[in-house]
Amino acid sequence: MGGRETVIFLALTLLFCLKAAEASQCSTHGVPLVRNISELPPDNYGRPGFSHSTIAGSLLHGMKEVEVWFETFAPGSRTPIHRHSCEEVFVVLKGSGTLYVASNSHLKYPGQPQEFSIFANSTFHVPVNDAHHVWNTNQDEDLQFLVIISRPPMKVCRHKVVLLKTSTCGGGDHLQHYARSLFIYDDWFMPHIAANLKFPIYWDEQCFQTPAKDEL
Ligand SMILES: *[C@@H]1O[C@H](CO)[C@@H](O)[C@H](O)[C@H]1NC(C)=O
Ligand SMILES: *[C@@H]1O[C@H](CO)[C@@H](O)[C@H](O)[C@H]1NC(C)=O
């Protein structure tokens, strides 16, 4: 092989290896049954002060009913104001902070939230579709928790349709997915219809593939 062919061969080999590595990251095969949390790769998905590892996930591990996340928020960092149609339970492992929940999300906008102190060994759940955010308001310590989230089948509408407890998507929408979805608000008074749909969620983006066929 001449010099030029060797370079091309090496480049193709590298490309192949990179593709294989990318595929295995999203594959449900070959993942060890017992995993050391300290060795799960954390990522901040472009959000400063944030760290997320998927402990058990639908795309990474083939989970069907629940997902478990391990997250750390540096002092001052927070989730956006958001809501979703799945159940969510938090177990605070370290640190402290503030939980904000607007339990009147059935109105046109989330509205003034209630404030709750959260602390190490506290646990809370977020009622389905209530807008909320979690904020590390402790200036001295990281806030770390496990998040357990259900992934019930639900429809994501193509338009910014408000998916509230009583409403359903219109029929015939070809962009229906059966997956968790997330609506993000700029503030507590942003109308539901203006909220941005975030789908797939940050950490699922690299592994998400449009399902070939709906399961239901
Ligand atoms: C888990 O991973 C951490 C970090 O690599 C390591 O220090 C620890 O020994 C591991 N635990 C076990 C039981 O292998
Ligand atoms: C959490 O609660 C359990 C049960 O009471 C206790 O054993 C543990 O020490 C507590 N941990 C923290 C960080 O307070």
Q: What is the pLDDT of residues 103-133, one digit of tens each?
A: 876 789 999 999 999 999 999 999 988 999 9
CA distance 126 to 149: 10
Q: How many other C-beta atoms are found inside a 10 Å radius of the C-beta of residue 193? A: 11
Q: How many other C-beta atoms are found inside a 10 Å radius of the C-beta of residue 182? A: 19
Can you give the pLDDT at residue 207?
80
User: Residue 106's closest CA among 164, 181, 187, 193?
Assistant: 164
The distance in angstroms from the start CA to the end CA of the chain is 55
pTM over 0.85: no
For the record, the structure tokens of 194 come out as: 């203006």
Task: Give the contacts of 211 (CB within 8 A, at least 6 positions apart).
Answer: 177, 178, 179
38 lines ligand 1 (CB under 6 A): yes
Distance 72 CA to ligand 2 centre (A): 19
* Residue nearest to ligand 1 atom 3, measured at CA: 38
Q: What is the pLDDT of residues 140-180, one digit of tens each?
A: 999 999 999 987 544 344 334 344 333 333 333 333 444 56
